[in-house]
Every structure is written in C-alpha cells, then in structure tokens.
Amino acid sequence: MVLSSAKSFGVEKTPSKNADVLDPKIGPHLLLFSAKHPKALKRTIDDHQSYHHLNQSRLSDMSYSLGSKREVLNQRAFVITDGAGDWSPVFPSRPFPREPPKTVFVFGGQGAQWAEMGKELITNVPEFRATLQAMDDVLHKLPDGPTWSIIGERRTP
C-alpha cells in the first residue's frame, strides 16, 4: 500500500508489515528530556518510555524530536538506549538556573498623554526612577538640552 499523500510529493514508500519490530542494527540513541519541575520530568520520561514500548520503530524519530524540537527547561535528564530493556535516566548533579525574565516598559501611545501615567513607577520602583534620572542627566548635558525634565521637575538653565 502506497500512501497517496506522500505519493503526491514524489515519495513512494511502502510501509513494512513489521514496522514496529525492533531493528537489531539500530545503535544506541540519545534521548534528551527537560521540564519545569522534577515530577514533570519523571512523568515525561515515563510517558516517552511507554510510547516507545508501543512504537519501537520510532526510537530514531523520538531521539530527533527530543533533541531538536523541544524547549529546554530547568529540570533536565538524558537516556542512552538501544531500545531494549528499561531506561536508566541520568540526572545532572548541577542545577540549571533559569535566566530571570527581562522586564520591558513600553508606553505606546494609547493614553500616553495622561500626565500621571508613570507616576506610580517613579514613586515605587527605584530602578525606574534612577534610569529616568540618568537619561535626564544625559539630555541636560547637551549644548541645546531641554529646559524640562523627564520626571517633570523644572530645571533652571
């Protein structure tokens, strides 16, 4: 039986009758796993092993997808297997720290004319205020710098 959708692309591969039988010529494969939590990592490994027991001919595909098509998260492990027997996952001894999220403030024009739009940030976030003051200082060092301040305090020229 030739799959008609594949045939339309010029691929004419007839599925083998024993497609799910383990091929002894297949060497070991590296399976990379990651998750946000250790329990989720364990469950992911178990789920993939269960899938493998039902679809042994897919080990190469699974190895490829896990290695190149998945997001890399904090909790990580790997398995090297030839498809026979139970998997023995290896968990790195060193944790992988996640980069802290980068916060970006964008005031886009929808209501940007509102006078108190950034007041709470200026009052409650010291880093925000310091950044505005640093930008303000740069502007005022210019030969034709403004007479106004970014934070709203008037400066005398």
> Within a 10 A sphere around the Cβ of 31, how many other Cβ atoms?
22
For the chain, the C-alpha Rg in angstroms (whole number) is: 29
Average pLDDT, the chain: 76
Number of H helices, E strands in the chain: 5, 2
Residues of the chain with pLDDT > 70, as a percent, come to 66
For residues 141 and 77, state if they share a domain. Answer: no
Q: Which residues contact 94 (CB under 8 A, 6 or more apart)?
A: none
Say whether both 72 and 128 belong to one domain.
Answer: no
Instruction: Decide: 57 and 29 in contact? Cβ < 8 Å.
Output: no
Q: Are residues 23 and 78 in the same domain?
A: yes
The strand pairing partners of 30, in sequence order, are 80
Predicted local distance difference test score (pLDDT) of residue 98: 60
Which is more confidently placed, 152 or 154? 152
- Residue 89 CB coordination number (10 Å): 19
Decide which of 22 and 71 is more confident: 71
E strands present in 36-125: 75-81
Q: How confident is the model at residue 85, as a pLDDT?
A: 75
- Report the pLDDT averaged over residues 136-151: 87
- List the domain range (segments joined by +) for residue 135: 103-157
Residues 86 and 37 reside in one and the same domain: yes
The predicted pLDDT at position 107 comes to 59
Pair 87, 113 in one domain: no
Is 3 within a domain? no
Residues 111 and 90 in one domain: no
Structural domain includes residue 31: yes
Q: Which of 97 and 103 is assigned the larger pLDDT?
A: 103
pLDDT at position 135 over 80: yes
> Which amino acid appears at position 88 of this protein?
S
Q: What is the pLDDT of residue 119?
A: 80
Q: What is the pLDDT of residue 42?
A: 92
CATH code: domain of residue 86: 3.30.70.3290
Q: Which helix (H) or strand (E) holds 88?
A: none
- Overall average pLDDT of the 71-95 stretch: 84
